[in-house]
Amino acid sequence: MKLSQYLLALVCPIIILSSCKKSTDEVTPDAKSTFSIEFENQVNGSPLVLNTTTYKNAKGEDFKINIFKYYVSNIKLSKADGSSYLLPESYFLIDASKPESTNITLKDVPVGDYTKIEYTIGVDYARNFAGAQTGALDPINGMFWTWNSGYIFVKLEGTSPQSTDKGNALTFHIGGVTDPNNTIRTFATEINAANPLRVRTDGKPNMHFIVNAAALFTGKTDVSFATLNFTMGGANSVIVANNYASGLFRLDHIHN
Amino acid sequence: MYACSKNEEEITPEEKKITFSIPANFPTPAYNFEDNKLTNAGFALGKKLFYEARLSADKSVSCGSCHQQFAAFTQLDHKVSHGVNNCQGKRNTPPLFNLAWQKAFFWDGGVKNIETSPLNAITDACEMGTDIQTIVAFLKNTAPYPDLFKQAFGSTEINSQLILKSITQFTAVLVSGNSKYDKVMRKEGGISFNATEQAGYSLFKEKCTSCHAEPFFTDFSYRSNGLDLVSTDEGRSHITGQAADFGKFRVPTLRNIEYTSPYMHDGRFYSVDEVLEHYNSGVKASANLDVQLKSGISLSSTEKEQIKAFLKTLTDNEFIKNTLYSES
């Protein structure tokens, strides 16, 4: 008798739960699917063209870009009810010279309606000091400092007539994870609840971000290439990171 | 059939299993091979890569050229490292042993993981002068490397991660903990210090262990011992950006000091006598000089001899001569 009572107690909630699921026509809660993010690199509204096109910074100084690469990592999606999902092992290197790298695919994401996305611009503290890595974090990608362990989070190289450095070079290697020169920044954006990111087994949405490379040089502090044209970590890198923290990415639209 | 294979097993001599052994007088290591399983094949590959000169730009320099076993894996007689195209680096090559207990690497502590510590040597224009792409391509196209990677990691895939992990299976296994000092500490086989060594040990504990702490003979901190009024090498501040770290370097280990000459971050001293005379009379009032050295460390000539005798007990000949670590 006792046993069957226990059994009933165990079985009951299962019945209730499963009937619940049916009524709301939601897919099984552990179903997973895929979505993608496209990062469209621009400079102040114009497409980013490496090596040839001349752009202007906020101070009106001309510049060209030869290299533009950045890390996006630890992507986290949240629902309207406040629950969230951190994509494990989500490390991506976007390289303006490699078109295939600007469209990333995120697999095994629990289906659902997401109303917020956040991610690290760069690489979290622990991975900077971890052992040999592979994939996006492979030092072969030229984004790892060998003399001062840690990743270059955002790398922009180019030229500007205003630069006083050799060959009028611009060298912005932004990284460093220890105070006072910590450059890890998190970007977060709300997604219009009317058109959330709908991850479905039969729907693989695409998020489209505009990435403005000129955001490195404006925002909190307008940068003049006459005075700041070279940084590899340190206080000047913090100035640049504080600029791009909010200005680098903008969610343009979602194709559901 | 069964009997047959059993027989074979008995005939093939058991290959000595490579182990990472922790001396009884050492604490728990920082690196524990958790994410890099130590195997004979992994160690053998790491050792082969360590001694492979064809990895460098002009095919003349291997890790072993600067890190020589007979010098406890530092570069004998070189003030500063000597790499490809006869290029001189800016710092003295540190010895390589007991690295599994280190949490930071290089004189300024810039590198934070033993696995990534070879990268700078590989890419530095003055050391091996090459890049990882070139090395990966070379190894993919050069027998017997694809087979060796397969034996070590179960796949012929060759990438920087596997290269670095296998080199670490070699470098992290380098443990030096069988000096006379260690045996005395572990009370092994009735070995004890002679009177001079014992006097030197007492002096050492009084004057040196605050920085050169046992059992590694370093507390792994960054300090200035007053070599220059103004250091030409920034040292630790290059990494931290803090003025208070200018001219500070990691306190070096004194194990195997008999074999690791020249001394200091720039290799300025060729003998332990010069080092002791520095502490006795040469300490300069650098801006960040360690407070303990404000008036130097006065040492009589007898005391110097006693300290030197003690320092010699830190020599580990079993380590220096272990053929397991030699270029075959």
| Shared-domain flag, residues A5 and A92 | no
Instruction: Report angle CA A211, A183, B250 to the nearest 5 degrees.
Output: 145
All domains of chain B, ordered by start, with CATH?
36-175 (1.10.760.10), 180-317 (1.10.760.10)
| Shared-domain flag, residues A10 and A63 | no
| Shared-domain flag, residues A13 and A110 | no
| Shared-domain flag, residues A93 and A188 | yes
Question: What number of other Cβ atoms are within 10 A of residue A171's Cβ?
Answer: 16
Cβ pair B166, B46 in contact under 8 A = yes
Cβ distance B116 to A181 less than 8 Å, yes or no, reads no
Instruction: Report angle CA B294, B296, B297 to the nearest 5 degrees.
Output: 135
pLDDT in tens, chain B (328 residues): 344 444 444 455 567 899 999 999 999 999 999 999 999 999 999 999 999 999 998 888 999 999 999 999 998 888 877 777 777 778 999 999 999 999 999 999 999 999 999 998 888 877 788 889 999 999 999 999 999 999 999 998 999 999 999 999 999 999 999 999 999 999 998 999 999 999 999 999 999 999 999 999 999 999 999 999 999 999 999 999 899 999 999 999 999 999 999 999 999 999 999 999 999 999 999 999 999 999 999 999 999 999 999 999 999 999 999 999 999 7
| Shared-domain flag, residues A63 and A174 | yes
Burial A5-21 (b: 16+ CB within 10 A, else e): eeeeeeeeeeeeeeeee
CB pairs under 8 A between A and B: 67
Q: Write the ipTM.
A: 0.85
| Shared-domain flag, residues A112 and A183 | yes
Side chain identity at residue B4, one-letter code: C
Query: Could you give the number of structural domains in chain A?
Result: 2
d(CA B167, CA A232): 28
| Shared-domain flag, residues A15 and A136 | no
Contacts of residue B163 in chain A, CB cutoff 8 Å? 132
d(CA A188, CA A54): 30
Cβ distance A144 to B119 less than 8 Å, yes or no, reads yes
Which residues, in sequence order, are CB contacts of A11 under 8 Å at separation 6+? none
Give chain A's contact residues with B (Cβ, < 8 Å): 128-134, 138-140, 144, 146-150, 178, 180-181, 233-235
Which token pair is A251? 């969610």
Q: Distance of CA B328 to CAs A231, B47, B51, Å?
A: 45, 9, 9
| Shared-domain flag, residues A221 and A134 | yes
d(CA A12, CA B261): 78
Task: Please state whether the peptide bond connecting residue B144 to the residue before it is cis, i.e. omega within 30 degrees of 0.
Answer: yes
Contacts of residue B49 in chain A, CB cutoff 8 Å? none
Q: Per the confidence metrics, is the pTM higher than 0.80?
A: yes
Contacts of residue B106 in chain A, CB cutoff 8 Å? 147
| Shared-domain flag, residues A26 and A39 | no
| Shared-domain flag, residues A67 and A176 | yes
| Shared-domain flag, residues A92 and A19 | no
Nearest to B120 among A131, A133, A147 (CB): A147
Range of the domain at A21: 1-30
| Shared-domain flag, residues A128 and A241 | yes
Which residues, in sequence order, are CB contacts of B179 under 8 Å at separation 6+? B255, B256, B313, B314, B315, B316
Instruction: Report angle CA A158, A159, A160 to the nearest 5 degrees.
Output: 140
- Among A144, A147, A151, pick the best mutation site for testing chain B contact (most B Cβ within 10 A): A147
